Amino acid sequence: MALIFRFFFGGQAQNYLFLWGMGGTFRHLCRRKHPQTLKCSHVHARMSEGEHERVYAFQTEGVRVPKRRCTRSWQKGFTLLRSGIEVENLCQTHIFSGKRRTFVAVKRNHRYMAGIYVHIPFCRSRCAYCDFFSTTREGELPHYVEILCREMKERRDEFADTRVRTIYIGGGTPSLLSATQLQRILDCISANYAVEEEAEVTVEMNPDDRFLPHVNRISLGIQTFDDDLLRLIRRRHDSQTAVCAVKRLQEAGIRNISIDLIYGLPGQTMAQWEHDLDTAFSLGIQHLSAYALSYETGTLLTRWRDEGRVAETDEEISVAMYQRLCQRAREAGFEHYELSNFALPGFHSRHNSSYWTGEPYLGFGPGAHSYDGQRTRRVNEADLDAYFNNPLKGSFERLSTTELYDEAVMCGLRTRRGIDIKQLAVRFGDTQRAYLLHMAEPHLRTGRLVLTDNRLRLTEQAIMISDDIMSDLMA
């Protein structure tokens, strides 16, 4: 059965839905302030503090809950409890156990999702290294915005009980949007989703494009400050334009600026990389993303390599470049919070960080990905004409428990916070936790991993072999 009861806490009446099964001794939980584990004969509940608000994860032992009179959202919620999957942002929970029955009452708040990603796939020209879905059909941008808003509106029920805390507009080249078009997109999001007042709103921008208003964070695709290398990879801007773009944004009042750099470019020397770092850290930016060049199938750069026109950078040079990057970032006061990301305190990318912690998100536009925060992924078809014909078409993948565990290991070790061992046990059980610690033991002995405060982290000396370590810990 399911009944609604009204209780008075702190002078305020609050409604709770009760679901019950058989139980043991009487126990009452009311607004516990400290993480703990509750154990009744048929119910386990573990609570821990999340980054933004309290996180509760539940696992039941054989409690049978009749479905009639349960609303859909509550029945879905209890299904999650029964399967032991983490449920985030429950604002408070009450458990009552008697000689015959165990009562579980859960009052749900809006559950946060990582945010919304909007793909703008238009570019004036394609860079030599890029394999993201994009097109040079810039003239169709106005029609695209209308179709995009249609998709956002018609998918609004996918996370109806969710608040949006980040919006990221990427591409392609989002800075090709006019200010009116960007405002149209943001207005559509606000009209159909519950966007937090202090939401992080990021737009990717090329240095030679105009600044777009209505955002509080800019990600500049600079890649390098060396003009010869910029021409090689077919970027439209030069180094001086990049420097001026940062200053222009600062003068416009943007106080959260990130830039992207690439190292390991064909023929790039340590001196050129040192110049890139000198320039980057002299500009007063708040965030830096730096990636090793990868040769992706179908890109111009890969074709040139295969034809012998360019050569890949020696691995030892790439390693030295990365180590120098970490050293310079540390000297500049930047926190190395993810393998490829560095930020001044308080300026971590909230949107990208949510990908690494497995939070749910919605992706709009051709080629965009979505994730429900549990085990289902969606990807939109990476074809502009197909998207114009049916923007709601997407393919779905349901992840297995093993795939979710492997992803938790990989994403956790990418970050400075590492893998939360207690949370991993809640999601996957004590057997999986024991497996992780067993496989980590050789790396703990050699100093490649460290275990402190129930978090398993990579040490700095192990970063360059992180792929091998992650593989060892996977199921």
pLDDT at 276 over 70: yes
> How open is the CA angle 135-140-143, to the nearest 5 degrees?
130
Q: How far is CA 272 from CA 58, 230, 328, 413, in A?
A: 53, 12, 14, 30
Where do we find the tokens 């400075």? 416
Q: Is residue 370 part of a domain?
A: no
Residues 178 and 294 in one domain: yes
| CATH number of domain containing 461 | 1.10.10
Q: Is residue 389 part of a domain?
A: no
Write the pLDDT tens digit of every residue in 83-137.
333 333 333 333 333 333 333 444 344 455 679 999 999 998 888 888 888 888 9
Residues 334 and 436 in one domain: no
**Largest separation between any pair of C-alpha atoms in the chain:** 78
Residues 56 and 126 in one domain: no
Residues 320 and 183 in one domain: yes
Q: Is residue 399 part of a domain?
A: no
- What is the predicted pLDDT for the residue at 267? 94
* Cβ–Cβ < 8 Å for 223, 262: yes
In the numeric block, which tokens belong to residue 40?
């009744």
Collapsing DSSP to helix, strand or coil, 342 comes out as strand
**Domain stop point among 64, 79, 109:** 109
Write the pLDDT tens digit of every residue in 343-384.
999 999 999 998 898 889 999 999 999 998 889 999 999 999
- What is the predicted pLDDT for the residue at 225? 98
- What is the predicted pLDDT for the residue at 117? 97
Residues 275 and 320 in one domain: yes
pLDDT band at 280 (very low <50, low <70, confident <90, very high): very high
**Domain stop point among 76, 91, 109:** 109
Q: Is residue 385 part of a domain?
A: no
Q: Is residue 369 part of a domain?
A: no
Residues 60 and 145 in one domain: no
Contacts of 178 (CB under 8 A, 6+ apart): none
| CATH number of domain containing 162 | 3.30.750.200
**Domain stop point among 56, 77, 109:** 109
Residues 20 and 98 in one domain: yes
Q: Is residue 380 part of a domain?
A: no
In the numeric block, which tokens belong to residue 471?
């593989």
The pLDDT mean for the chain works out to 80
Domain of residue 24, residue span: 2-109
Where do we find the tokens 């033991």? 441
Residues 466 and 338 in one domain: no
Q: Is 151 exposed, middle or buried (0-12, 13-18, 19+ CB in 10 A)?
A: buried
Which residues share a beta bridge with 362? 116
Which among 420, 72, 475, 33 is positioned nearest to 80, based on CA atoms?
Answer: 72
Residues 105 and 124 in one domain: no
* Cβ–Cβ < 8 Å for 105, 94: yes
In the numeric block, which tokens belong to residue 267?
């023929």
Which among 309, 235, 303, 324 is positioned nearest to 266, based on CA atoms?
Answer: 309
pLDDT band at 168 (very low <50, low <70, confident <90, very high): very high
Q: Is residue 388 part of a domain?
A: no
Residues 196 and 320 in one domain: yes
End-to-end CA distance of the chain: 39
Residues 91 and 120 in one domain: no
pTM for the model? 0.77
pLDDT band at 330 (very low <50, low <70, confident <90, very high): very high
Into how many domains does the chain fold?
3
Q: Is residue 392 part of a domain?
A: no
Residues 161 and 232 in one domain: yes
Question: Which region, left, alpha or beta, applies to residue 93 given φ > 0 means left and ψ of -120 to 50 means alpha?
Answer: beta
* Cβ–Cβ < 8 Å for 279, 225: yes
